[in-house]
Amino acid sequence: MTEIRHDPIAPTRTQRLTSGAAIGAHRHDDHQIAHAGRGVLSVTTDAGSWVAPGTRALWVPAGTVHAHQAHGDLELHLVGLPATENPVGLDTPAVLAVSPLLHELIVAHTRTPDDGSPERARLRAVLIDQLRVSPQQPLHLPTPTTPLLRSLCDLLHTDPADRRTLAELGRVVGASARTLSRLFHDDLGMTFPQWRTQLRLHHALILLAEGTPVTRVAALCGWSSTSAFIDVFRRALGHTPGAYARG
């Protein structure tokens, strides 16, 4: 990332971005919660990317250099928290589950100005309590640091539907399946199938936000069938891609 902007205060506000719009690399001295009331939000750092549909929120710790990207018309709710207040207890970015209650709290908190009233303070206190009990979700796609693994991952980023085995991909980048398996474990902390599934889910969420039909998303992201895609999506996100698209 280049031309990193430093915004000391993380704003608390609602912001609307059109599909494809981006907020360039920047950092805050505060923590930030970013939640998509509509559309899909992705956040990218040097360590990887995180994607969050409307049932999720992104936790961005203070000082983290990050960039936002809108997929679909995005209604972005941003909550800034002082660096001394860390209700989720995390010092790295993460995706958090957003219950219906937490969603309404975030929306209410970001759409009204801070007037210093007791009602505002109580709303914020409940929001913080809900953040404390929000579980993390496995929607992180780590970025490889080794050139060999980066070359392989770039191939699949270009075409998530590529179904070649690790051995077949290894012949393209010049490494054995054993070597690549070790690199996935040591560099990314996951297996090759786990990483590829995360990649496909990231692409699927973006395509669904852009209005692509479920059957087309399944094919573009490399699932053997629409039913296989629906099963993986439901297990990862708790609902079907059709329900997500309608929401």
Residue 51 confidence class, pLDDT cut points 50, 70, 90: confident
Each residue's pLDDT tens digit, 186-225: 999 999 999 999 999 999 988 988 889 999 999 999 999 9
Q: Are residues 136 and 163 in the same domain?
A: no
Q: What CATH number is given to the structural domain containing 223?
A: 1.10.10.60
Tens digits of per-residue pLDDT, 68-127? Answer: 999 888 999 999 999 999 999 999 999 999 999 999 999 999 988 888 899 999 999 999
- The alpha carbon of 247 is separated from its chain's Cα centroid by a whole number of angstroms, namely 18
Domain boundary, last residue among 85, 118, 140: 140
One domain for residues 99 and 115? yes
Number of domains the chain is built from: 2
1 confidence band (pLDDT: 50, 70, 90): very low
The pTM is what?
Answer: 0.83
Range of the domain at 169: 144-246
- Residues 60 and 140: their CA atoms lie apart, in Å, by 13
Nearest to 141 by CA among 204, 65, 218: 204
Q: Are residues 154 and 115 in the same domain?
A: no
Q: What is the Cα–Cα distance from 149 to 1, expressed in whole angstroms?
A: 20
| Percent above pLDDT 70 for the chain | 98
Question: In terms of DSSP bridges, do strands 13-17 and 66-81 run parallel, antiparallel, or are they unpaired?
Answer: antiparallel
73 and 129 both lie in a single domain: yes
CATH number at residue 32: 2.60.120.810
List pLDDT tens digits, range 167-185: 999 999 999 999 999 999 9
Is residue 135 helix, strand or coil? coil
Give 137's DSSP letter.
E
